[in-house]
Structure 1
Amino acid sequence: MGRGVITLITDFGTRDGYAGIIKGVILKINPQVRLVDITHEVSPQDIFEAGFILKNSYRYFPNMSIHLVVVDPGVGSRRRAILVETDNHFFIGPDNGVFTFIYEFERIKKIIELTNKRYFLPYISNTFHGRDIFAPAAAYLSKGTSLEDLGEICDDVVRFDIPRPETERGIIKGVVLHVDRFGNLISNIPEVLFRELVGKGRYEISIGGEVLEDIKGSYSEVKEGQALAVFGSSGYLEISVRGQNAREKLKLNKGNEVKVVYK
């Protein structure tokens, strides 16, 4: 079974050595594994953001990839360290809800609480479980260590509530779930829901004080500095400003309402 890829999602940033240290721990155990940085720029301690980025990323990696997520505001507490196995991927990180989207969209085969200290580093810091628990567990898993050797089966896991769009006659109400590096406001309204309810009918999209009367196919369809709605690469309705940061220009952020009114 090939487990030759480990991806990394953290909120460590790149100024300090934390992300590099995790890679060092993994490579010391398995020098042959391939490490891929998805991002180390998750907003500090933002579990939901980490989960959303994971949701939009993991499917593009080879089957049997191991996805290591370390956004862990509860480090040092009694929260568990877990390993989640789905049909085609493995996920390692804290049991704090960061894998909620995985539980929602994947068939879960097994969840293991990482308890076997044989596969940890000898000294466990109360502030850096990414180095001392998660990284070595991922490395040993990539070498073929069985899930059962790494720990014990667990069933009850932490989940957060995923904001879902609300629908009523002629209206879809959503919220901004995520703001990317460019300031694009990514809502929780999926394109498939929009197509199902709105189809080719007339509609308008409102967010804050902006009212947009159509969805564009690309940013180039509007003038520089003009707001637009577009279905982004994640499959959700996004509000953007061509050539500028929509969050800053429109003074909007995560949690703001996005409304589609259609006939």
Structure 2
Amino acid sequence: MSKSFVVLQTDFGLNWGAVASMYGVCKQVDPGLEIYDLSHTIEQFNTMAASSCLQYTIKYWPKGTVFVSVVDPGVGTARKASVAKTSNGYYIVTPDNGTLTHVKAMYGIEEIREIDETVNRYPGSEKVNIFHGRDLFAYCGARLAAGVISFEEVGPSYPLSDIVVQELTYGKTGDGYAEGQVDEALEKFGNISTNILIEDFEKTGIVQGDMVRIQIKNEDQVVYDEPVLYHRSFGFAEIGDPVLFNGLASFVALGLNQRSFAEKYQIKGGKGWTIRIDKIRQ
């Protein structure tokens, strides 16, 4: 049986041995497994950030890849340890705590199974219940990827309707305008992501090269209200100038050329952060 890739995502960070322990467990299952990192700097306990990151990453990997995603504030409690088989051909090994929200909405989930700890738990770990990332998820994911177990041998299936999801809302669009929420500020480059789908934004009639007026509010306080270029990438704006663009996660995004938009304007994103985009008509 051919082996699948294993891709790890956590909120553990890399300044201690947690991720290396997950690697070690996988290699004990099968030394030949190829293991890769998606991210280990997801904001701690932020299951929706993990969900979003999975949504825009999984489709770029070969079908059958096993993603092990562990952002688990409820570790050791009654929340289910699960493996989801997505409708577009991937496996996600994760606590069922909201991490599957975006994947279920964007791609669909064909089947989900609860991990049978009597079979698919790292031997000798039974007295520890605070590191399921290593003892359940990495171990079960490695066994699945290596072909030691089939998907059916993960454990019992349960109804798709029982999957824990958080509410997803999408921006609204009309002739010459769009409005929605600032979902998050991306830490590395300081761009901000919205909940306005690119395919919906295309219906506004706003095209690349147009100038738009963007207003961002935190609750009722206006924190940004300026004209902005909408274009294909940062290089069409001067260094330090803003540009609206199609982001990598299927949504419209906003940034500064070679600067941090989020840092300059102190934008965090999330509940209460809204954005309005209006075409500037000549």
| Residue in structure 2 matching 1:148, options 152, 161, 179 | 152
Name the aligned partner's letter for residue 77 of structure 1.
T
Contact 2:228 2:243 in 1 (8 A): no
Relative to structure 1, the CA distance from residue 243 to residue 203 in structure 2 (aligned partners, 3 Å threshold; closer, same or farther) is: closer
Query: What percentage of aligned pairs have identical amino acids?
Result: 26
Contact 1:179 1:186 in 2 (8 A): yes
Contact 2:55 2:249 in 1 (8 A): no
Q: Where does 1:37-48 land on structure 2 (aligned, <5 Å)?
A: 37-48=37-48
The alpha carbon displacement at 1:24 in A equals 0.5
RMSD: 1.9
- Counterpart of 1:51 in structure 2 is 51
- Counterpart of 1:163 in structure 2 is 169
- Counterpart of 1:110 in structure 2 is 111
- Counterpart of 1:132 in structure 2 is 135
The alpha carbon displacement at 1:170 in A equals 5.4
- Counterpart of 1:234 in structure 2 is 249
Contact 2:230 2:244 in 1 (8 A): yes
Distance 2:108 2:243 in 1: 36
**SS of 2:51's equivalent?**
helix
Contact 1:3 1:66 in 2 (8 A): no
Scaled by the length of structure 2, the TM-score of the pair is 0.87
Distance 2:146 2:257 in 1: 46
Distance 2:165 2:108 in 1: 15
Distance 2:99 2:31 in 1: 28
Distance 2:95 2:206 in 1: 41
Note the residue ranges of structure 1 that are not aligned, 5 or more in a row: none
Contact 1:9 1:37 in 2 (8 A): yes
- Counterpart of 1:72 in structure 2 is 72
The alpha carbon displacement at 1:189 in A equals 1.1
Distance 2:107 2:248 in 1: 20
Contact 1:212 1:229 in 2 (8 A): no
Q: Does 1:185 align with 2:189?
A: no
Scaled by the length of structure 1, the TM-score of the pair is 0.93
Contact 2:170 2:197 in 1 (8 A): no
Distance 1:108 1:196 in 2: 28
| Residue in structure 2 matching 1:123, options 119, 122, 125 | 125
- Counterpart of 2:35 in structure 1 is 35
Distance 1:82 1:33 in 2: 21
Name the aligned partner's letter for residue 204 of structure 2.
L
The alpha carbon displacement at 1:191 in A equals 1.8
Contact 1:225 1:241 in 2 (8 A): yes
Note the residue ranges of structure 2 that are not aligned, 5 or more in a row: 217-222
Q: Where does 1:191-230 land on structure 2 (aligned, <5 Å)?
A: 191-200=198-207, 203-207=212-216, 208-230=223-245
Distance 2:108 2:224 in 1: 41
Distance 2:13 2:85 in 1: 27
Q: Where does 1:77-116 land on structure 2 (aligned, <5 Å)?
A: 77-87=77-87, 88-116=89-117
Distance 1:223 1:37 in 2: 34
- Counterpart of 1:9 in structure 2 is 9
- Counterpart of 2:219 in structure 1 is none
Distance 2:3 2:53 in 1: 21
Name the aligned partner's letter for residue 14 of structure 1.
L
